[in-house]
Amino acid sequence: MRGVVFLAISFFTALVWGQGEIEYQNRTLKKALSKDGVSDFSHLSELKVADSLLQKHRIVGKFFEVTANAGKYKYIYTGRVNSCRAGGCSTSGETSDTGNGEYFDYFILFDEGKTVQIVKVFNYQATHGYEITARGWLKQFSGHDGSEPLQVNKNVDAISGATISVNAITEDVELKTDLLQRLKM
C-alpha cells in the first residue's frame, strides 16, 4: 500500500518535473502577501496533508499556514491544474493534452474562517483559456466557503472559448477549499 502511494506521489512529482516545477515562492504571491503585512515566506509553514488524501485527489500543490499575526490571510493553497480531461481533449479553440504543456499554476488565499479571499494565476502555460487569468473574472471566487457548490454557468460565469480552463479552475478551487476545511490542524 505504501509502495503504491510512493509510486503515485513519484508519478505526479515526475509529471510536475517534466513540465517545470511549481514556483511556490513566486513574485505574485509575495506581492499579495506583503499587501497584507506579511513581509516574506519565512512566515509560512507547510501544512501536512494525509497521504491518502494526496493520492485520492491527485493533489499537485501544497497548503500553507501564515504564522505571522498580520492581516486577513491565514491559509494558502498553491498548486498546478492540468487543463485537460483524461482520455480526450476538446478543442473549442483549445487544444490540450494530458500533461505535456497544458497547465497553469495558481494560488488561493483564505482567511481565518477558511473562506476564499483571493485567487490568482501566476504561471499560465496552456495555449488557450488565458482569459481565466483576468483579475476581474477571478473575483467570482471570493467569498466561497464551501456552503454552496461552484458551478460554471450558474454562479461562475463561463468564458466563451475557454471552457476547459474555466471548468478546470472552478473544480480545483472548490476541491481545495473543501480539502482545507477538512484538514486537521
| Contacting residue, 37, 71, 101, 146, with other proteins by CB under 8 A | 101
Q: Which is nearer to other proteins, 7 or 158 (CB)?
A: 158
CA quadruple 33, 31, 58, 13: dihedral positive or negative?
negative
Which residues sit opposite 110 in a β-bridge?
A: 75, 116
What is d(CA 142, CA 136) in angstroms, rounded to the nearest whole number?
Answer: 11
Size of the site for other proteins (CB under 8 A): 38
Residue type, 122: F
| Contacting residue, 4, 147, 160, 185, with other proteins by CB under 8 A | 160
By the rule CB under 8 A, 147 interacts with other proteins: no
69 three-state secondary structure: coil
Please state the closest distance from residue 46 (CB atom) to other proteins, in A. Answer: 27
Q: Kindly indicate which of the ranges 44-52, 89-97, 106-114, 177-185 contains the residues binding other proteins, using the contact rule CB under 8 A.
A: 89-97
Residues 16-45 close enough to bind other proteins by CB under 8 A:
18-20
Q: What are phi and psi of 134, to 5 degrees?
A: -65, 130
By the rule CB under 8 A, 13 interacts with other proteins: no
Q: Kindly indicate which of the ranges 1-9, 64-72, 157-165, 173-181 contains the residues binding other proteins, using the contact rule CB under 8 A.
A: 157-165
Residue type, 104: F
Residues 108-127 close enough to bind other proteins by CB under 8 A:
121, 124-125
Going by their DSSP bridges, the two strands 75-82 and 116-124 should be labelled as unpaired
Please state the closest distance from residue 65 (CB atom) to other proteins, in A. Answer: 28
Question: How many other CB atoms are found less than 10 A from the CB of residue 97?
Answer: 13
**What's the chain's Rg over C-alpha atoms?**
16
Residue type, 20: G
By the rule CB under 8 A, 133 interacts with other proteins: yes
Please state the closest distance from residue 163 (CB atom) to other proteins, in A. Answer: 5
Residue 161: is it exposed, middle or buried by C-beta count within 10 angstroms (0-12/13-18/19+)?
Answer: middle
Positions in the binding site for other proteins (CB under 8 A): 18-20, 87-93, 95-101, 121, 124-125, 130-131, 133-137, 139-140, 153-154, 157-161, 163, 167
